[in-house]
């Protein structure tokens, strides 16, 4: 056998092993009918759409979804957490902060969550009497985020944690998603069916949503990184395919997973908010690891993906180095989409 034949044979064996391997997830049919509204709706309290803000060009695409969901009564408030100082470029810092502050003035339901306000409310780690382990956690601004919702949430509230580069949301399914979060008290966190997410792309391909012509979307080792995470071409092709095949990604089911998952669009109920905070606080690693594989492996909690709600996530930092213009290219795709 020549080198070319050997190479193609190895590729075939790899693809076959990916397709025949036992799936690291379990799927079951959605356990209740939900028609977005009507007499069944109303079980949720306040619904907070929360974003670590943020990059204005991405958020500008997300804005229309806030407005529609608020007018429909699906969400109560949008919280833009001012993490603009994480931008490397000082001009971007200024313009991004200016953008989110303009949205706060423009919409009554939008609030900018400022670190100085959190300090004034004694929500920082130095004011928590039982905060004893400094570690990495104390040095992260996002610890304030989790503690805040642990304090303010009522049992039937829902916290939606949404990346600033969620560029598409199937808004007709958000109300059912919220209802699922509230009613399934046995579930810890619920993720949407995310486009451009390593673990979920593997699930999508396994369930027949993504063709092999786009390449193999393997299950990333322990749910982290993987070929999609580091490939700008794969990400761009995936987004382009999705925009012309949206209906293929809708599936009336729930998927339970046990490893790490990129938390691009996740939610939990108010009754879980303090537990969410404690899970992150007690964990030795970042919030994503703590809320996904840490929650399932260490605490035996249940995390699921709600496949009916399809959202699109822009890009990962691992995809950008090979194509510095990837973000702009993907944003343009969604701007131009009908």
| Least-confidence region, from 195-199, 280-284, 333-337 | 280-284
**Measured distance CA(323)–CA(231) in Å, rounded:** 9
Residue 207 lies in a domain: yes
pLDDT band at 149 (very low <50, low <70, confident <90, very high): very high
Mean of the pLDDT values across residues 131-151? 65
**Measured distance CA(127)–CA(220) in Å, rounded:** 39
Is residue 193 within 8 Å of 309, Cβ to Cβ?
yes
Is the pLDDT at 260 greater than 70, yes or no? Answer: yes
Q: Which helix (H) or strand (E) holds 53?
A: strand 47-53
Specify the long-range contacts of residues 96-102, CB closer than 8 Å, at least 24 apart.
Answer: 96/53, 96/54, 96/55, 96/56, 99/56, 99/59, 99/60, 100/53, 100/54, 100/56, 100/59
The pLDDT of residue 132: 36
The pLDDT of residue 115: 77
The pLDDT of residue 127: 40
The pLDDT of residue 162: 98
Give the three-state DSSP class for 29.
Answer: strand
Q: Which helix (H) or strand (E) holds 162?
A: strand 158-162
**Measured distance CA(148)–CA(165) in Å, rounded:** 23
Mean of the pLDDT values across residues 285-296? 91
The pLDDT of residue 214: 95
The pLDDT of residue 10: 36
Is residue 223 within 8 Å of 204, Cβ to Cβ?
no
pLDDT band at 320 (very low <50, low <70, confident <90, very high): confident
Mean of the pLDDT values across residues 263-289? 91
Kindly state the DSSP code that residue 190 receives in the 8-state scheme. Answer: E
Is the pLDDT at 140 greater than 90, yes or no? Answer: no
Residue 62 lies in a domain: yes
The alpha carbon of 61 is separated from its chain's Cα centroid by a whole number of angstroms, namely 16
User: For the segment 24-60, what is each residue's pLDDT rounded down to a tens digit?
Assistant: 788 877 655 675 444 344 467 999 999 998 899 999 9
Range of the structural domain that residue 265 is part of: 24-336
How many domains are contained in the chain?
Answer: 1
Residue 295 lies in a domain: yes
Q: Which residue in the block uniquely carries the two structure tokens 């303010």?
A: 152
Is the pLDDT at 137 greater than 70, yes or no? Answer: no
Residue 267 lies in a domain: yes
Residue 218 lies in a domain: yes
Is residue 44 within 8 Å of 157, Cβ to Cβ?
yes
Provide the CATH number for the domain around residue 326.
Answer: 3.90.550
Residue 7 lies in a domain: no
**Measured distance CA(3)–CA(82) in Å, rounded:** 55
**Which pTM does this prediction carry?**
0.86
């Amino acid at each position: 056998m020549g080198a070319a034949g050997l190479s193609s044979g190895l590729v075939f064996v790899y693809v076959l092993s990916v397709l025949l391997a036992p799936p690291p997830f379990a799927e079951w049919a959605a356990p209740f009918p939900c028609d977005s509204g009507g007499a069944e709706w109303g079980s949720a309290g306040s619904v907070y759409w929360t974003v670590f803000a943020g990059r204005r060009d991405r958020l500008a695409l997300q804005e229309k979804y806030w407005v529609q969901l608020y007018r429909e009564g699906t969400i109560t408030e949008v919280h833009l957490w001012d993490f603009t100082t994480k931008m490397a470029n000082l001009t971007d810092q200024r313009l991004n902060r200016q953008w989110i502050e303009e949205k706060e003035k423009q919409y009554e339901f939008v609030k900018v969550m400022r670190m100085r306000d959190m300090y004034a409310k004694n929500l920082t780690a130095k004011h928590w009497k039982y905060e004893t382990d400094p570690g990495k956690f104390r040095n992260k601004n996002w610890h304030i985020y989790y503690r805040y919702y642990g304090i303010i949430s009522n049992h039937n509230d829902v916290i939606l944690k949404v990346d600033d580069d969620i560029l598409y949301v199937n808004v007709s399914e958000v109300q059912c998603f919220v209802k699922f979060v509230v009613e399934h008290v046995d579930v810890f966190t619920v993720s949407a069916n995310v486009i451009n997410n390593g673990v979920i792309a593997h699930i999508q391909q396994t369930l027949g949503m993504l063709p092999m012509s786009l390449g193999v979307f393997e299950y990333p080792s322990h749910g982290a990184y993987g070929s999609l995470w580091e490939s700008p071409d794969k990400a761009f092709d995936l987004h382009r395919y999705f925009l012309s095949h949206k209906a293929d990604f809708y599936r009336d089911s729930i998927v339970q997973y046990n490893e790490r998952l990129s938390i691009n669009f996740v939610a939990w109920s108010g009754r879980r908010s303090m537990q969410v905070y404690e899970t992150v606080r007690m964990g030795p690693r970042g919030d994503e690891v703590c809320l996904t594989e840490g929650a399932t492996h260490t605490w035996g909690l249940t995390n699921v993906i709600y496949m009916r709600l399809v959202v699109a996530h822009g890009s990962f930092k691992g995809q950008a180095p090979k194509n510095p213009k990837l973000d702009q290219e993907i944003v343009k795709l969604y701007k131009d989409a009908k």
